Structure 1
Amino acid sequence: MDTLPSPFTFSQSSLQDYNDCPRRFQLRYIEQLAWPAVETEPTQAYERHQQEGSLFHRMVQQHLIGLPAEKLGAQAKSESLNRWWEAYQQQAPALDGYALYPEYTLSAPIGEHRLVAKYDLIAIKPGEKVIIYDWKTYRKRPRDEYLAARWQTRLYSALLVQAGRHLNGGTPILPEKIEMIYWFANFPNEPARYVYTDSKFQRDWELIEKIVKEINEAKEFPLAEDEHPCRFCTYRSYCDRGVKAGDWDEVEGETEMEEGFEIDFEQIGEIAF
């Protein structure tokens, strides 16, 4: 049986896959099985939404590094993109006095492997506050409880504590200084906010270490007991759990395309070994 590559780069997506279904983790990351199945129906609308979401993220990044909003707005060729861009301009965070790190990647070793996260925006006011922003183009506003339990929320804050001191003038970032904000382009007045604490950091880091060790030592990767998520998994037919893709309208938190981590680790923020 194939084993976990070493070193393996764990991201919020791979940790979430293992959490949702160990078998999916095995097929995707260990066996690296490409399975030609769609995740949701209707396929064309879903793919168009994903492409528009990627473009919106790029527009925000370009705005944060100084490109004029009106020039960027010319890229909004669809009704959705135009609406999201107008909402962003009206609700753009007030970050005077903050150092901004858009589309920033952090990495840290964990045992023989490493953790990596790519942030939409890290905003730091040294000695006062650190804000993680994540832009979402979900069609539905997920429940706060759903987002709180997701690996993205846990990993992004924990990794910033563990590997972000160089962004804070060499001073460790205290968990109590961190707030993570999900901003929803379709619900601009309903952001989700998560204030971090030292107890949450201890909980999250211990859990990350536990899960990584569990995956590293796993001999079997069982199928998820709950078959509901299988409808939105590309491997459902491979695992004999249905052929037809799930309805996009039934997804609470939509799948987002995570960029591959073929990264030059010399160029990103990393805690020293």
Structure 2
Amino acid sequence: MLRLNQSHLTKLETCPRQFQHSILEQFLSPVAPDLQEKAEWGKHFHLLMQQQELGLPLSPLLEQEQEMGASVISLLNATHERRLNHPQHWQEAEHARTLNFEDFLLTVVYDLLITQPNQGEIYDWKTYPKPKKHQLLAQQWQTKLYLFVLAETSHYQPEQLSMTYWFVQSKTASSSPDKTAIQSARIAYNVKQHETIRQQLKTLLNQLKQDLENYERQNIPFPQVAEEKGICPRCLFAHRCQRNAVSVQGNSSRESPLVDLDQIAELPI
């Protein structure tokens, strides 16, 4: 049974042929040095937050990485009061869940899951700036999949769930250690959204079943995105897809939809 995460769903929705090349055939896109550096920073930051939730000492690590330490402290200060307001809460860092849906295993890993009797909230740490449009967050597959899976695998009603993104900007955090240094965006949830996502998933996964069958039994490639969408000129697989490719070496890698998100801790929208 194929396991799918939010990165895979994004690839399927963006361009099914991208899913074929990167997931089924394991052709990975090269990562630009600047993105690789940001990825390492993000991975290290997530590790520190996980250690903090496990009660492990952070002082030696924070002394070595002062800028990152300031970001960790700012985030802890920003979220501390919200956690104390719920004395019956339970929380776990790097909480993983799996949902069997339409013959696929949908997998999620929450940076932090906080629950109380009548409410569940997902926290996600982001090391890129907060998007100007709140709707961008609500529409991305990470938000939709994380909330959908939690609703399907818990006793909570959709209206009792939410997801909060915390945007850790190291420069801001280091210069201003108070709570205002960390921006956040809370995504509420409801039954209507839940059923809409259910239908979106069914449509996407039913198409994937058909594409997989054609690919495995008849060696028919996955469909390509329409050229008028403007994705191909920035795609590192354009030559493989026999599309009119341009040089992508000078382009910012953050614009490419084909950077393997599983290898990047944080990537701007």
SS in structure 2 of the partner of residue 95 of structure 1: helix
Unaligned runs of 5+ in 2: 173-180, 215-221, 265-269
Q: Say whether residues 1:185 and 2:168 are aligned partners.
A: yes
The equivalent position to 1:242 in structure 2, one of 228, 246, 256, is 246
* Contact persistence 2:168–2:183 (CA under 8 A): no
Change (3 A) 1:259 1:175: farther
Identity of aligned residues (%): 24
**1:53-72 maps to which residues of 2 (within 5 A)?**
53-72=42-61
How far apart in 1 are the matches of 2:109 and 2:131?
22
1:17 equivalent in structure 2: 11
1:48 equivalent in structure 2: 37
1:71 deviation in Å? Answer: 4.1
The equivalent position to 2:125 in structure 1, one of 110, 135, 144, is 135
* Contact persistence 1:135–1:183 (CA under 8 A): yes
Count of aligned positions: 237
TM score, norm. by length of structure 1: 0.77
Runs of 4+ in 1 over 6 A off after TM superposition: 252-256
How far apart in 1 are the matches of 2:132 and 2:237?
24
**1:1-273 maps to which residues of 2 (within 5 A)?**
7-35=1-29, 37-38=30-31, 43-76=32-65, 79=67, 81-93=68-80, 94-96=82-84, 97=87, 98-126=89-117, 128-139=118-129, 141=131, 143-163=133-153, 165=154, 172-186=155-169, 188-218=181-211, 219=214, 220-225=222-227, 226-228=229-231, 231=234, 233-239=235-241, 240=243, 241-245=245-249, 246-247=251-252, 251=255, 257-258=261-262
SS in structure 2 of the partner of residue 67 of structure 1: coil
Unaligned runs of 5+ in 1: 1-6, 166-171, 261-273
Q: Looking at secondary structure, tell me which structure has more helix per residue.
A: 2
RMSD: 2.8
How far apart in 1 are the matches of 2:195 and 2:148?
8
SS in structure 2 of the partner of residue 206 of structure 1: helix
How far apart in 1 are the matches of 2:207 and 2:197?
15
1:201 deviation in Å? Answer: 0.9
2:176 equivalent in structure 1: none
How far apart in 2 are the matches of 1:237 and 1:74?
47
* Contact persistence 1:21–1:222 (CA under 8 A): yes
* Contact persistence 1:102–1:122 (CA under 8 A): yes
* Contact persistence 1:142–1:253 (CA under 8 A): no
TM score, norm. by length of structure 2: 0.78
How far apart in 2 are the matches of 1:256 and 1:141?
21
